[in-house]
Chain A
Amino acid sequence: ETGVTQTPRHLVMGMTNKKSLKCEQHLGHNAMYWYKQSAKKPLELMFVYSLEERVENNSVPSRFSPECPNSSHLFLHLHTLQPEDSALYLCASSQVTSVSGELFFGEGSRLTVL
């Protein structure tokens, strides 16, 4: 139990569907992240929210839309995805004022786009 909870753990969707991934952290952190993990590739940073403001948008296609209503919750809204978007999507949180800046990851949401 890392203190970061992601739902759903598995999601299968068609290219025309609209779905959302949810992340909740119980660690009192002030930054939250979305990462994409594909096979044999390094984790790719998608979005960063620090103090509830988006501070990083790493050239992610507009079919991915993040939302951070408060410091404990983070969403990733998905629409008209492509098969190559199939991957493990990891949410993480951290305390930006911490010297180490350690990331605490959720268990991930395994997304399959048909």
Chain B
Amino acid sequence: KNQVEQSPQSLIILEGKNCTLQCNYTVSPFSNLRWYKQDTGRGPVSLTIMTFSENTKSNGRYTATLDADTKQSSLHITASQLSDSASYICVVSRQTGANNLFFGTGTRLTVIP
């Protein structure tokens, strides 16, 4: 069964601290993995896109990793800011099939001063 699981479900950290969000998946055959950021009351916005051959990709203070062997990805946020408070959604794409995107339930991150 194609599934995407994210952990933790929610996280509260102090401003300036680092954090890591996890995504495990069973989607096959794998095409790519994306991390989206969704601010409250807004639509999701793509942060990173990773293909099978990519291990690490950075976008400013956001660094995503991918281990295609263990089917795990992480999103590391460095020096968190209040504006990082949002839900982070992991989306895994399958190579075939009409409905080929599988969404995690997201991690709700709250950064407090």
A binds B: yes
Q: How many residues of A contact B (CB 8 A)?
A: 24
Number of B interface residues at 8 Å Cβ cutoff, please give it: 23
Given A48-B98, A100-B32, check contact A105 B45 (CB 8 Å). yes
From DSSP, what is the main secondary structure of chain B's interface residues?
Answer: strand
Q: Does B13 contact A (CB under 8 A)?
A: no
Shortest CB-to-CB span from A61 to chain B, Å, is 17
> Using a CB-CB cutoff of 8 Å, which residues 1-24 of chain A contact chain B?
2, 4, 6
Bound form: Cα–Cα A48–B97 in Å? 13
B68 at the interface (CB under 8 A from A): no
In the bound complex, do residue B98 and residue A103 qualify as a contact, i.e. CB atoms below 8 Å apart?
A: no
Q: Give the dominant DSSP class at A's interface.
A: loop
Known contacts A42-B105, A100-B32: does B99 contact A105 (CB below 8 Å)? no
A106 proximal to B (CB < 8 A): yes
